[in-house]
Amino acid sequence: MTYRNSKIDLKNERFSKNRSFKGIKKKIAKKYTIKNSPLIIYSLKTHSNPSLSINKKIFLGLGFVSALSAQSEDYNSSVYWLNSVNENNSNKSYYISPLRTWAGGSRSFTQNYNNSQLYIGTKNASATPNHSSVWFGEKGYIGFITGVFKAKDIFITGAVGSGNELKTGGGAILVFESSNELNTNGAYFQNNRAGTQTSWINLISNNSVNLTNTDFGNQTPNGGFNVMGRKITYNGGIVNGGNFGFDNVDSNGATTISGVTFNNNGALTYKGGNGIGGSITFTNSNINHYKLNLNANSVTFNNSTLGSMPNGNANTIGNAYILNANNITFNNLTFNGGWFVFNRSDAHVNFQGATTINNPTSPFVNMTGKVTINPNAIFNIQNYTPSIGSAYTLFSMKNGSIAYNDVNNLWNIIRLKNTQATKDNSKNATSNNNTHTYYVTYNLGGTLYNFRQIFSPNSIVLQSVYYGANNIYYTNSVNIHDNVFNLKNINDDRADAIFYLNGLNTWNYTNAKFTQTYGGKNSALVFNATTPWANGTIPKSNSTVRFGGYEGVNWGKTGYITGT
């Protein structure tokens, strides 16, 4: 592998070609050599023209002088050489055309274009998106670069990133700071793997930051991106990995995110300076395998999806989404994993529209705050298969309460696998002490499942039940096979339970005696079936309950059994 000691070695290679400069009709170069210096200075002469304003700039070490129109000027070379710049021209336009630069060791520079516009990645001072690239890090050079760009207004397009081609170094911290507005369109910010180096890109404005069709990607350890401004909008894009921070400076700012996907093991944070931010809103966005830590006055999710969490999988709920906010609104939200931590006991959490839950358990367990179920709210539970006695807890309050609107139709707000319930009018709905109980039936794939819905001030529970004779319903189903097989003495007084023994063959070496009592209120003991029968219908069964079966004889287990 060939390494170069510095960019000076590439001077003749990079600048050997003739250069043309806009606005210069004729040039005469004179070459001077400075004693004991490798630098070469070129003086530049032009025909005078009072109608043409020429801005002249001499760069030592570049081997040429850049002279451009007073309206716009390309500072590509100053970035290539990692030079600091301080310009004080009001309302002038500067642009940095596509380039790739690097450093052999650690380098830092600051370029300040006071009161002017700065365009990054364009071939002219234009806000037209293109597929250009401004890159820090090349080949095997491992030098870490810190670069700061300041201007009144900043526009960025194309790829901006860091990391050398061998992924062994060339990382960077890049800061783009505007005193007015910072805009990106068709931009792609990338922190490529750079050995053990950590890279960050910071987009900062004293006023507003507007990101349009902009993507972010991070491969460096603990690296990522920060966006800071009093007003932040992010419309369209993908964020792959890394830490991503939104900062609204104080509690009066606002961040709106629309049509953006966050994924691939990252962490998304929101705040306002050293405290909470104003508001953050997600619309038509997906957060998949990405942690959340949002500190705000208000947090809103509209038509969005929260996916699986880091350290989670299809059978676990992973880590928590942390919401530290006064007002939280869920409007048409889908959960594919994760659960919530609400850090404020006085938080107001509003549910409206359809909330779809694909988690194995509800994300609203052990909640803190004041929950309001609005009249148009629907909860669609997808990942729950009912069985007699099973229960699904949709809400449980660790600290706080649940307020219901439209109490008479509460039975209709819970869907199972997209299926609407049918109210069982033969069972009387009850309302006592602000607790509302309803009996409903769901038709799931042609099988009818009966449920008791319980809406209380501190929980919402969907309890599977089975209807027996004389309007007796059962809320528990217990298989007693092991109890009987092992000839145990049992006393189980669970109420409203079905105790069933559906097939058995047991024996003992010596004489044995056991007593089993299942005496709970409204309980039933069923042999060779799993449910009691009702309305004169007797189920057919091919099961057998046998004591001292042929297996016992074959193995010499001939003990006499007495069972009650």
Instruction: Tell me the pLDDT band of 527, cut-offs 50, 70 and 90.
Output: confident
Token reading at 406: 């439209």
Token reading at 165: 């081609």
Over range 309-323, report the average pLDDT: 63
Q: Based on the fold, state whether residues 529 and 434 are members of the same structural domain.
A: no
Residue ending a domain, among 424, 445, 467, is: 467
Question: For the segment 418-438, what is each residue's pLDDT rounded down to a tens digit?
Answer: 999 999 887 778 888 889 999
Over range 118-134, report the average pLDDT: 90
Residue 483 lies in a domain: yes
Place of tokens 């002038």: 92
Q: Which residue has the higher pLDDT, 256 or 557?
A: 256
Token reading at 379: 């909860």
Supply the pLDDT for residue 556: 60
Number of domains within the chain: 2
Residue 62 lies in a domain: no
Supply the pLDDT for residue 516: 78
Over range 258-263, report the average pLDDT: 96
Over range 436-446, report the average pLDDT: 90
Share of the chain above pLDDT 90, in %: 52
Burial class (CB in 10 A: 0-12, 13-18, 19+), 184: buried
Instruction: Tell me the pLDDT band of 21, cut-offs 50, 70 and 90.
Output: very low
Q: Which residue has the higher pLDDT, 308 or 209?
A: 209
3-class DSSP state for residue 23?
coil
**Beta pairing class for 459-467 and 447-456:** antiparallel
Picking from 80, 74, 75, the residue whose alpha carbon sits closest to that of residue 100 is: 80
pLDDT of 464 > 70? The answer is yes
What single DSSP character describes residue 4? Answer: -
Instruction: Tell me the pLDDT band of 486, cut-offs 50, 70 and 90.
Output: confident
Instruction: Tell me the pLDDT band of 102, cut-offs 50, 70 and 90.
Output: very high
Place of tokens 């043309």: 20
Picking from 373, 564, 411, the residue whose alpha carbon sits closest to that of residue 483 is: 564
Instruction: Tell me the pLDDT band of 555, cut-offs 50, 70 and 90.
Output: low
Q: Which of 15-19, 171-175, 259-263, 455-459 has the lowest mean pLDDT?
A: 15-19
Over range 20-31, report the average pLDDT: 32
Q: Based on the fold, state whether residues 439 and 524 are members of the same structural domain.
A: no
Share of the chain above pLDDT 70, in %: 79
Residue 441 lies in a domain: yes
DSSP state string for 68-90: EESSEEE-HHHHHTT--EEE--T
3-class DSSP state for residue 7?
helix
Question: For the segment 156-203, what is each residue's pLDDT rounded down to a tens digit?
Answer: 999 999 999 999 999 999 999 999 999 999 999 999 999 999 999 999
Instruction: Tell me the pLDDT band of 512, cut-offs 50, 70 and 90.
Output: confident
pTM: 0.77
pLDDT of 50 > 60? The answer is no
Domain that holds residue 394: 85-467
Q: In what order do the strands lie in the sheet with 524-527?
A: 476-479, 497-501, 524-527
Instruction: Tell me the pLDDT band of 487, cut-offs 50, 70 and 90.
Output: confident
Residue ending a domain, among 419, 452, 467, is: 467
d(CA 24, CA 1): 42
Instruction: Tell me the pLDDT band of 230, cut-offs 50, 70 and 90.
Output: very high
d(CA 10, CA 30): 21
Residue ending a domain, among 449, 467, 485, is: 467
Residue 17 lies in a domain: no
Angle, CA 11 vertex, CA 133 and CA 123 arms, to 5°? 30
Longest CA–CA separation in the chain, Å? 124
Contact 501, 484 (CB under 8 A): yes
Residue 66 lies in a domain: no
Q: Based on the fold, state whether residues 425 and 510 are members of the same structural domain.
A: no
Residue 527 lies in a domain: yes
pLDDT of 70 > 80? The answer is no
DSSP state string for 217-239: EE-STT-EEEEE-SEEEEEEEEE
Q: How many CB atoms lie within 10 A of CB 480?
A: 20
Instruction: Tell me the pLDDT band of 539, cut-offs 50, 70 and 90.
Output: low
Burial class (CB in 10 A: 0-12, 13-18, 19+), 30: exposed
**Beta pairing class for 200-205 and 224-228:** parallel
d(CA 208, CA 193): 30
Q: Based on the fold, state whether residues 388 and 517 are members of the same structural domain.
A: no
Residue type for 224, please? G
Q: Based on the fold, state whether residues 349 and 498 are members of the same structural domain.
A: no
Q: Based on the fold, state whether residues 178 and 267 are members of the same structural domain.
A: yes
pLDDT of 19 > 50? The answer is no
Contacts 24+ apart (CB under 8 A), 53-58: 54/23, 54/24
Q: Which residue has the higher pLDDT, 314 or 286?
A: 286
Contacts 24+ apart (CB under 8 A), 553-557: 555/507, 556/509, 557/507, 557/508, 557/509
Q: Based on the fold, state whether residues 248 and 331 are members of the same structural domain.
A: yes
Number of helices (H), then strands (E), belonging to the chain: the values are 4, 43
Q: Based on the fold, state whether residues 509 and 462 are members of the same structural domain.
A: no
Contact 126, 157 (CB under 8 A): no
Picking from 326, 460, 471, the residue whose alpha carbon sits closest to that of residue 402 is: 460
pLDDT of 2 > 60? The answer is no
Q: Based on the fold, state whether residues 266 and 402 are members of the same structural domain.
A: yes
pLDDT of 37 > 60? The answer is no
Instruction: Tell me the pLDDT band of 22, cut-offs 50, 70 and 90.
Output: very low
Q: Based on the fold, state whether residues 462 and 476 are members of the same structural domain.
A: no
pLDDT of 38 > 90? The answer is no
Supply the pLDDT for residue 7: 53
Q: Based on the fold, state whether residues 413 and 486 are members of the same structural domain.
A: no
d(CA 463, CA 467): 13
Instruction: Tell me the pLDDT band of 471, cut-offs 50, 70 and 90.
Output: low
Residue 257 lies in a domain: yes
What single DSSP character describes residue 482? Answer: H
pLDDT of 320 > 80? The answer is no
d(CA 376, CA 354): 8
The helix (H) or strand (E) run that includes residue 194 is none
Place of tokens 């139709």: 409
Token reading at 11: 């001077």
Residue 182 lies in a domain: yes
Q: Based on the fold, state whether residues 330 and 440 are members of the same structural domain.
A: yes
d(CA 400, CA 344): 10
